[in-house]
Chain A
Amino acid sequence: MVVSAIPLTAKDYKSEVKPTWCPGCGDFAVLSATYKALADLQLRPEKVVVVSGIGCSSRIPYFCNTYGTHTLHGRALPVATGIKMARPDLTVVVMGGDGDLFSIGAGHFPHAARRNLDILTVCMDNQTYGLTKAQYSPTSFVGHKSKSSPYGTVEMPMNPVLMALASGASWVARGYSGRPKQLQELIVEGIRHKGFAFLHVQSPCTEFHNTYNYYDARVQDIPKDHDPTDYMAAIRLAMPQEKTLLGVFYRSERPVYEERLRAFEQIKVEFDPDEFLSRYG
């Protein structure tokens, strides 16, 4: 992480592009928490890359005064992997929806997590497909009626927190758009964490699936006595609960991928084509 000399404020991370989200969309809270978190960390904007896939939530790079890529539906993690492997000096944050990261992109998620790249992945989970206008998503609850599930879904919802834990993410947490301050703190901690950090955010879609009331009544902080270094305890907390738990489930120290790959750097040599070709002589 590179820290700026002149103190930066949240505004410095705001681009000239105005968000196009619907009024009240949960993603606004994630965006403003991101600005503030970047300011808390004093990261130089040119050293940050925000990577996203496709979906309402994935528009977020355009609203940030940082480098960014708005890639393909489900493909943010591979692109982020390449960026971080090639340039470990950059702070890479992946941001996207539940459909993006856990439906079409589900094949990439466990691999990014197990590699333990030093990136933060933020899933803005609205339990619906916002951009394509209200089909059900992989995190929709059983019985959820939507345009593509007129009789109610019969599929078990995916559990992103449990999946992150099972895949080997070394930092796993949950936030809620209705609790912006905590969200900001979690983003700060997630970026600071050295390794693959996963932040699951309940981020309601006011247009198609307004769950603010549902979550307001049901979110609760993870009990204070939870030890986030206890993997089994984290798994127990991540199992379906009466309440939707917020906070850090799990935290562990593990060598990060891009550094282990660079264990060779000490023997870094210039490529010598002449020598390379000689082995075929």
Chain B
Amino acid sequence: MPKSEIVIRLGGEGGEGVISTGDIFTLASARTGYHVFTFRTYPAEIKGGHAWYQVRVGPRPVLSMGDQVDVLVAFNLEAYEKHKHLLNTEEGVLIYDPDEVTPEPRPRTVFYPIPFNRIARQDLNFVRGKNVVVTGVLAGLFGLDPTSLTQFITQRYKRRAELLDQNLKALEAGLNYAQKNLTKADPYYLTPTERVGRLVMSGNDAIVAGALTAGCRFYAGYPITPASEILELMAQTLPRLGGTSLQAEDEIAAIGAVLGASFAGVKAMTATSGPGLSLMTEFMGWSGMAEVPCVIVDAQRAGPSTGMPTKLEQGDLNHALFGGHGEFPRIVIAPGSVEDAFWQIINAFNLAEKYQTPVIFLSDQSLSHRTESLLKPDLSKVKVVDRIQPTADDLANGYERFAITETGISPMSIPGTPGGMYVAPGLEHDEKGHVDNPLASHEKMVPKRFRKLETLQKELEAPPRYGAPDARIGVIGWGSTEGAIREAVERCVAKGMKVAALHPKVLNPLPEKHLEQFISSMDMVIVPEINYTGQFARYLRSVFGIPVVRINKWGGLPFTAGEIQRKIEEVVNGR
């Protein structure tokens, strides 16, 4: 039976073009009308080391990167050795260079030996064109429309005529080779379907698009994997919008500048990864104390210390929730997918503005770097919130910047406003911001500040729920694992299991009412997360006092749906 849902994995030496082959193939598939979901990982060094890229393509929405590999493209021997165990045992396809790899026999696998290196070196005299040859072969084999590939290559090299010519020839050579020398023996076809205008974006792209939509006009950051693309894209875009961006001298300066800009009345954001978040922590407390809004994106990577810069871990949740000295309200948000990242970062800005607190936005290496296809978000649904400012009345009657209110929110005047002068203090202060009687102030101000979270908690909507309505086994996840969890739960339900998942996006304050309802309707709660210690599981336990079953994975890679599914089945079957 022909199949149009395929998981393709490409592996090879870092810098060999594995990632760009994957990207071009992904974009061409999406343009042909397919849904895509990618994962990439590469060595932290610039050249050398092993890189791989996985893309799952299908006619229906794809939620995760897929379990086993249907098509393995081995650029070299290492790639073959590293990934062969994942190759589909029923209908696998191995594409390899026979000059590099001599595969072991596999009864039900289709082998396509293609001398990539020889074609690039001898036929084309263009060693660096190997990846484009591979792209051509893939398009030829699976029937992707060559014109969209030609378009991409033309776009990419339009300013470099010679390279453009060589790359087009390489594409042609790959296509020809597939058509002339290979006999199609696999069941996979990506023939053009209805063309829907889908976007292909990475998590980092979506974060920038959403932030700018929310009104962010100041960005400061310091380069760090996997957040650097946010700095680069902001630096490219903000100046044209009358905004400004800063490559700061370090992360402390980055968040300091963000808070300065925000104090001055401009919506501002920074993005970093674990080590940078550590440096920003002192200022997180200042933001909470001085009630100056800010959005901090933490694209988590595997730690501790500098850890594994290009690998995934959901390891900073504790830091986001509890990091810092003293007690201050902070909002923590974790998006579940690329599209969700767009909407949640808008939410992050709105909540920062409304509640005048730091908002920590937890992306991670897989989400920041992976691409997904999505329909263009419905922009008519965008709501932008601005901080409340003192009225003329407030200003005329002895304005109090930190007025104690029922909601905990006080009007924030911005510099330039006559009569609104105040000092944003890191010291404990009274309603006016004066710091001379801290003991009396602290007693009143701590609850005032924390009331903001209570106000917000009441407003939180029900998180998305997946699976059986009458479920007895509940799965609660957070962050970028949403798609894999959803897919696993849906597979279990299809097998007749009474399983459902809840995926909260605001993690502090928790949507307690909704979680409680969910938890109390379950016999058992399972918490999958990509870390060793089960940070979210412990958090839920501390809030709800319930035992939970943990599913933990560490080692730098995302969950597959199959991994989660197997664990759920074990639990359901009482093992």
Residues of A whose CB lies within 8 Å of any CB of B are 17, 20, 44-47, 49, 51, 54, 61-62, 65-72, 75, 77-87, 89-90, 107-108, 111, 258, 261-262, 264-265, 267-271, 273-274, 276-278, 280-281
Contact A78 B416 (CB under 8 A): no
- Specify which of A82, A264, A280 is in contact with B258 (CB 8 Å cutoff): A82
Contact B257 A82 (CB under 8 A): yes
A-B contact pairs, 7 of them (CB 8 A): A69-B425, A70-B423, A78-B255, A78-B257, A81-B260, A85-B260, A281-B376
Chain B residues 432 to 465 lying within 8 A of chain A, measured CB to CB, are 434-436
Contact A78 B415 (CB under 8 A): no
Which 7 pairs show the lowest CB-CB distances between chains A and B? A82-B260, A78-B256, A82-B257, A86-B261, A68-B423, A264-B239, A79-B260
Contact A71 B286 (CB under 8 A): yes
Min CB distance A262 to B, Å, is 8
| Contact partners of A271 in chain B: CB under 8 A | 212-213, 241
Distance between Cα atoms of A270 and B241 in the complex (Å)? 6
Which of B244-252, B402-410, B474-482 contacts the other chain?
B244-252
| Contact partners of A77 in chain B: CB under 8 A | 253, 256
| Contact partners of B49 in chain A: CB under 8 A | none
- Specify which of B239, B256, B382, B426 is in contact with A82 (CB 8 Å cutoff): B256
- Specify which of A54, A107, A281 is in contact with B197 (CB 8 Å cutoff): A281
Contact B256 A75 (CB under 8 A): yes
Min CB distance A228 to B, Å, is 28
Residue B527 at the chain A interface, CB threshold 8 Å: no
Distance between Cα atoms of A87 and B255 in the complex (Å)? 17
| Contact partners of B425 in chain A: CB under 8 A | 62, 69-70
| Contact partners of A17 in chain B: CB under 8 A | 434, 436
- Specify which of A75, A87, A265 is in contact with B252 (CB 8 Å cutoff): A75
Contact A258 B421 (CB under 8 A): no
Contact A268 B418 (CB under 8 A): no
Residue B420 at the chain A interface, CB threshold 8 Å: yes
Contact B212 A70 (CB under 8 A): no
Distance between Cα atoms of A77 and B420 in the complex (Å)? 23
Knowing A111-B249, A281-B197, the reply to whether A261 touches B239 (Cβ < 8 A) is yes
Residue B266 at the chain A interface, CB threshold 8 Å: yes
Min CB distance A113 to B, Å, is 11
| Contact partners of A71 in chain B: CB under 8 A | 256, 259, 286, 426
Min CB distance A100 to B, Å, is 13
Which has the most chain A C-beta neighbours within 10 Å: B260, B261, B420, B435? B260
| Contact partners of B250 in chain A: CB under 8 A | 107
Contact A280 B200 (CB under 8 A): yes
Per-residue CB proximity of B410-422 to A under 8 Å, as 1/0? 0000011111111
- Specify which of B201, B265, B419, B427 is in contact with A87 (CB 8 Å cutoff): B265
Min CB distance B230 to A, Å, is 14
Chain B residues 267 to 305 lying within 8 A of chain A, measured CB to CB, are 268, 282-283, 286, 290
- Of chain A, the residue at the smallest CB distance from B382 is A273
> Which label, helix, strand, loop or mixed, suits the secondary structure of the B interface?
mixed
Residue B242 at the chain A interface, CB threshold 8 Å: yes
Residue B209 at the chain A interface, CB threshold 8 Å: yes
Contact A72 B283 (CB under 8 A): yes
Contact B434 A62 (CB under 8 A): yes
Contact A81 B246 (CB under 8 A): yes
Min CB distance B99 to A, Å, is 37
- Of chain B, the residue at the smallest CB distance from A18 is B436
- Specify which of A72, A107, A280 is in contact with B201 (CB 8 Å cutoff): A280
Min CB distance B232 to A, Å, is 14
Distance between Cα atoms of A269 and B242 in the complex (Å)? 7
Contact A66 B240 (CB under 8 A): no
| Contact partners of A80 in chain B: CB under 8 A | 260
Min CB distance A254 to B, Å, is 18
Chain B residues 196 to 239 lying within 8 A of chain A, measured CB to CB, are 197-201, 205, 209, 212-213, 217-218, 220, 237, 239
Known interface pairs A86-B266, A268-B241; 12 further A-B residue pairs with C-beta atoms within 8 A, sorted by A's residue number: A46-B420, A80-B260, A82-B264, A107-B253, A264-B239, A264-B242, A274-B379, A276-B212, A276-B237, A277-B377, A280-B201, A281-B197
- Specify which of A85, A267, A276, A277 is in contact with B257 (CB 8 Å cutoff): A85
Distance between Cα atoms of A274 and B265 in the complex (Å)? 25
Contact B427 A67 (CB under 8 A): no
Contact A67 B379 (CB under 8 A): no
| Contact partners of A44 in chain B: CB under 8 A | 418
Min CB distance A88 to B, Å, is 9
Distance between Cα atoms of A121 and B546 in the complex (Å)? 55
| Contact partners of A86 in chain B: CB under 8 A | 217-218, 244, 260-261, 264-266, 268
Distance between Cα atoms of A83 and B200 in the complex (Å)? 36
Min CB distance B172 to A, Å, is 26
- Of chain A, the residue at the smallest CB distance from B220 is A82
Contact B240 A87 (CB under 8 A): no
| Contact partners of B198 in chain A: CB under 8 A | 281
Distance between Cα atoms of A71 and B427 in the complex (Å)? 9
Contact B424 A70 (CB under 8 A): yes
Contact A78 B253 (CB under 8 A): yes
- Specify which of A65, A267, A273, A277 is in contact with B240 (CB 8 Å cutoff): A267
Distance between Cα atoms of A81 and B266 in the complex (Å)? 13
